[in-house]
A and B are shown apart, each in its own frame.
Chain A
């Protein structure tokens, strides 16, 4: 008799969703949750209409508007015409196809990856997809969650399934605990700095180890969110008591006996001892310092007390040329101390760092202080519910008294698709996930960091070591 196979968390979720396995290894995979937003869905609904198809399971689908919405003065409507058309189109599509929809002025509106977990829609052991690469965020709950293209959005709408080949298993194990002044954001930046932006290609990363276990759910979501920046298809963290406590009582979560049954099942999901990983990476959390990026790739991380690297010291010509181009775009000279870099804008928000815990960390730094003159600092909660909670706690007043803008929920300055944009040459300390050229607006320069570090940068008008502000 053969031993029962030792499975990873990924294997377990995958296997329990396979409907059909084809000879070339492609699987027909069942999808439990489909999150829809305005940018990648219009052509999918159009395709359904043209083929006279319906949405197979509207009850497993939810739509929200996030990328295009302005984050102030919402009652006035949406000025940019193509944004307005995308938004109105999603509303109409949801009406026509019976898909649950959260309107712009609803308190539950927010970034799709914030509201899924917040409303109890994203559950452990589920397959979750969305036409957006940062769907990896939901992996923090122990769900297999990944981004898909528009044809696939249409495929899921029509069939509630996807054709996929299984990914490989990778484990990132972080021992020790995070030192004072460092957060989940520093942890994930450290991981990306170590394995590189292609380090996870073809893999699903399972994060494990003491440092990951001791993160709260917000921190776990920050880590899984940026899995895609390490090239991975998805990120995963095994569900545990922290997960269950966090989900319990959320609007769409199972209730009463259903809840007990759910938790019993969720407890079986953790990877088996001896499960096989194609790749294992180990890190020591105690060695992590507050991190900042200096270039136009998320792997270009440095401790805040470091200095801009010199391309002449790069190992090969290709790398040297690449570093030169990055420094040129970023307007930085080699050897500049990171703490001497002045910023024009500070953005606290995005699906990486706009949960209540992130806002608390930033507010703790901002409290009783003032934003430096000439710095524009904005706080954009991830959802209307986060905003409401922050206002109950008085965080909004801490921010506004310090000179931060307090805005409505949305993707905002994470990407230049709505009115919140950098102008050419502006430098921004940002809690978002991508520092690509032009990501926050054409010519804009982005330094990625944690919410506490972002608040510190706002107060001093330059990148600052938050540990010195305690």
Chain B
């Protein structure tokens, strides 16, 4: 928690996007949009993930294994590795930047207080979960997450998201994405346990860690090591994947278009 706050304060100064000026919303948040109490989970733990981007090769093994483990519908992902071709700041040469994305299990999750039926909540161990039996599928939480970490599952017609594979953690297994990561880039563990690998890496790399969109004050608990700060907010890039153009450069439509 202390770390998230420190990262936020440190990065807020770096990020050029100015803090939002929203008196009305601030007032509303003070009274209504506050975090409900956490429930369930081990109160002694605080799960978090550290992603060592120096070890990520963009193989998408995490994407695939998560998809199989959690049975997400086609085209929807609990985790995915964004890949962008960028110009290296050091050499000026083109290089690929990989950015694994997943739920940040924020300490101040904006998706939780908006839920009209308390179907999503944060456990005492920091994991944000959804009760798909209670969820009404209003998708308010999908709108509220700045990381696009939530989606409506077409099969269950309810909100779906990464749970750090809580069902696997409970029986002593690693999350599917961590288990399958060929480079060992994803490290999950308990921040409150000073002997855990994540706690030790956080201590070692404290000044080099970054989180996504710190200006939103969500206090994410997925920490990136070896991060390019141009990707902390929405990266400036041309879309190369979905555009399909004919010989004259006219847009034909989008690949995998559903309609």
Report if A and B associate in a common complex.
Answer: no
Show the binding face of A for B, using Cβ within 8 Å. none
